[in-house]
């Protein structure tokens, strides 16, 4: 190993001292597992709800704008790490059926609220692999979507894609169709640029395909985000350094990092969990994953990429997902269509079914395919207004007061002071934000503000130190 890489690894390993210290204080789970803080309450913890229950007394946003999400749950094949409910393989007829149902779901929603069109603030089409449609299907989807969604005020139109669907003749046709329909940003699931790791992940592409997909997409004028997973069994520090250096050489606007989640937090379980139960010794220690994360941060920073929205590194401040920022930091209304899609609507959250048959059957009955959700009470709302913006950027005090009617200075004082004393939070007159150390452990710092029954793990899963999240849980 060259001396520079050795120096980088040793520097990155210093982070494990923080990991051990914060684990002993109760901030981090004792077994080293983690739970991504994406929504509050966590997406797995919603009770059943009816359409009427969810929308009772709901009023449309004053400016009439929504961030719009569409989910398309089809993929070429199952990646070993994936815990999402997707169908794999060609399935031409099923995709046709799904697209018809999706169109109808949008119509049911529009009818319910008397809308002629849905006015979009931003759009994200995700999956699955939403480009794993034939070019003709993609074109027809985008046509009926655009007939229903007004994009005149839309600041960003994104697609989450995988590399093989973007290359070759078909890939180029898809890129052109998306561009012609107003799509201007792609998030490409590259995952790794090491062929051995990609093979172990059962990804349907190698590094060369991924690089080609990035280059072809750029030629079509898209802004690009590329996503990577670290902490995969078999991955070494040196492999990961090489992958990060190659990622930087691609010069995309955004680079996004995910630590491998072995134990799922949703209803579906990917192959990786079974592999873990069968051969736990093949998996990396949490300390190794922590070091890999720090290694990536050091390399990205040296090359001018700074953390922008959480986990996303960019050279320019203006490059980020508007969909994520609007929903998680600005707390605007977001509506989701399709299997597993969610809608986050100011003081309530609704989740669509994860079951294909239930999805089709509810739409056949002219119902929105919702089956779980919650209208948040005052306590939930207070926590939501801290957790989402803090995780992703910062909590602006003026904004918090406007949203909740309560001053941030009057809530969670003990907790906030303790987190500040431990170097995890920074506070001034205008805002509360994560320090660099706090940002590294952002999920766990944000979980400090959960109500006990919405904690991801039981109290005994954490050390009984001063940062055990169950202490001082009341606002």
Give contact residues for ligand SAM (rule: CB under 6 A): 81-83, 126-129, 160, 162, 189, 191, 227, 229, 258, 260-261
- Contact characters 156-195, ligand SF4, x per CB under 6 A: ------x--------------------------x------
As a whole number of angstroms, the distance between CA 17 and CA 212 comes to 40
CA angle (153, 374, 119) in 5-degree steps: 10
Q: How far is the CB of 474 from ligand SF4 (least distance, A)?
A: 39
Please report, as residue ranges, which positions from 76 to 105 form the binding site for ligand SF4 (by CB under 6 A). 78-79, 82, 84, 86
Choose the contact partner of 229 out of ligand SF4, ligand SAM, none; CB within 5 to 8 A by kind.
ligand SAM
Concatenating the DSSP letter of every residue in 324-380 gives HHHHHTS---EEEESTT-EEEETTEEEEE-S-HHHHHHHHHTT---EEEEEE--HHH
As a whole number of angstroms, the distance between CA 118 and CA 102 comes to 14
Q: How far is the CB of 191 from ligand SAM (least distance, A)?
A: 6
Q: Decide if residue 127 touches ligand SF4 (CB under 6 A).
A: yes
CA angle (334, 50, 456) in 5-degree steps: 65
The burial class, CB within 10 Å (0-12 / 13-18 / 19+), for 428 is: exposed
Eight-class DSSP state of 408: G
CA angle (162, 229, 12) in 5-degree steps: 150
Choose the contact partner of 78 out of ligand SAM, ligand SF4, none; CB within 5 to 8 A by kind.
ligand SF4
Please report, as residue ranges, which positions from 346 to 405 form the binding site for ligand SF4 (by CB under 6 A). none
Q: Decide if residue 129 touches ligand SF4 (CB under 6 A).
A: yes
Q: How far is the CB of 36 from ligand SF4 (least distance, A)?
A: 15
Element spanning 224, H or E: strand 223-230
Concatenating the DSSP letter of every residue in 34-79 gives -----SSS-GGGPPB--HHHHHTT----TT-EEEEEEEE-EESS--
Q: How far is the CB of 373 from ligand SAM (least distance, A)?
A: 20
Is 158 in contact with 133 (CB distance < 8 Å)? no
Q: Decide if residue 128 touches ligand SF4 (CB under 6 A).
A: yes
Choose the contact partner of 260 out of ligand SF4, ligand SAM, none; CB within 5 to 8 A by kind.
ligand SAM
Q: How far is the CB of 127 from ligand SAM (least distance, A)?
A: 5
Stretch that binds ligand SF4, among 126-134, 291-299, 315-323, 390-398 (CB under 6 A): 126-134
Q: Which is nearer to ligand SAM, 256 or 422 (CB)?
A: 256
Q: How far is the CB of 236 from ligand SAM (least distance, A)?
A: 18
Residue nearest to ligand SAM (CB): 189
Choose the contact partner of 261 out of ligand SF4, ligand SAM, none; CB within 5 to 8 A by kind.
ligand SAM
Q: How far is the CB of 84 from ligand SF4 (least distance, A)?
A: 5
As a whole number of angstroms, the distance between CA 405 and CA 473 comes to 20
Q: Which is nearer to ligand SAM, 40 or 81 (CB)?
A: 81
Choose the contact partner of 258 out of ligand SAM, ligand SF4, none; CB within 5 to 8 A by kind.
ligand SAM
Eight-class DSSP state of 462: B
Q: Which is nearer to ligand SAM, 159 or 237 (CB)?
A: 159
Element spanning 126, H or E: strand 118-127
Task: Measure CA 355 to chain center.
Answer: 21
Q: Which is nearer to ligand SF4, 108 or 263 (CB)?
A: 263
Q: Pairing between strand 334-337 and 65-72?
A: parallel
As a whole number of angstroms, the distance between CA 253 and CA 426 comes to 28
Site residues (CB under 6 A) for ligand SF4? Answer: 75, 78-79, 82, 84, 86, 127-129, 162, 189
């Amino acid at each position: 190993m060259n001396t520079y890489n050795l120096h980088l690894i040793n520097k990155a390993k210093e982070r494990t001292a923080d990991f051990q210290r914060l684990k002993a204080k109760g901030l981090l789970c004792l077994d080293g597992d983690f739970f991504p803080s994406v929504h509050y309450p966590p997406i797995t913890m919603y009770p059943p709800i009816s359409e009427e229950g969810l929308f009772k007394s709901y009023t449309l946003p004053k400016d009439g704008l929504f961030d719009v999400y569409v989910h398309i749950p089809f993929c070429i094949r199952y990646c070993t790490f994936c815990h999402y409910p997707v169908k794999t393989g060609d399935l031409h007829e099923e995709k046709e059926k799904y697209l018809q149902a999706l169109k109808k779901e949008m119509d049911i929603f529009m009818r319910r609220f008397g809308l002629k069109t849905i006015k979009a603030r931003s759009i994200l089409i995700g999956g699955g692999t939403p480009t794993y449609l034939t070019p003709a299907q993609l074109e027809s989807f985008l046509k009926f979507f655009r007939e229903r969604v007004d994009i005149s005020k839309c600041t960003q139109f994104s697609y989450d894609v995988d590399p093989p669907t973007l290359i070759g003749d078909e890939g180029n046709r898809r890129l052109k169709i998306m561009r012609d329909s107003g799509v201007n940003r792609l998030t490409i699931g590259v995952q790794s640029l090491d062929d051995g790791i990609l093979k172990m992940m059962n990804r349907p592409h190698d590094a060369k395909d991924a690089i080609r997909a990035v280059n072809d997409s750029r030629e079509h004028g898209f802004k690009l985000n590329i996503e990577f997973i670290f902490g995969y069994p078999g991955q070494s520090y040196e492999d990961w350094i090489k992958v990060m250096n190659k990622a930087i050489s691609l010069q995309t606007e955004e680079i996004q990092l995910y630590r491998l989640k072995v134990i799922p937090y949703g209803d579906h379980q990917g192959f990786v969990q079974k592999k873990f139960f069968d051969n736990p010794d093949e998996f990396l220690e949490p300390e190794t994953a922590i070091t890999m994360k720090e290694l990536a941060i050091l390399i990205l920073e040296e090359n001018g990429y700074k953390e922008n929205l959480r986990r996303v590194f960019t050279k320019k401040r203006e490059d980020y997902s508007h969909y994520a920022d609007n929903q998680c930091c600005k707390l605007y209304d977001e509506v989701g269509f399709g299997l597993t899609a969610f809608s986050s609507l100011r003081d309530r959250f609704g989740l669509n079914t994860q079951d294909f048959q239930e999805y089709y059957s509810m739409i056949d009955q002219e119902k929105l395919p919702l089956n779980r959700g919650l209208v948040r009470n005052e306590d939930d709302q207070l926590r939501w207004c801290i957790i989402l913006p803090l995780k992703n950027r910062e909590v602006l005090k003026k904004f918090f007061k406007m949203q909740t009617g309560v001053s941030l200075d009057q809530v969670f004082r003990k907790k906030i002071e303790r987190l500040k004393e431990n170097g995890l939070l920074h506070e001034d007159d205008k805002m509360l934000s994560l320090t660099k150390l706090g940002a590294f452990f952002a999920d766990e710092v944000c979980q400090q503000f959960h109500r006990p029954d919405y904690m991801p793990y039981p109290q005994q899963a954490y050390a009984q130190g001063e940062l055990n999240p169950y202490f001082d849980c009341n606002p």
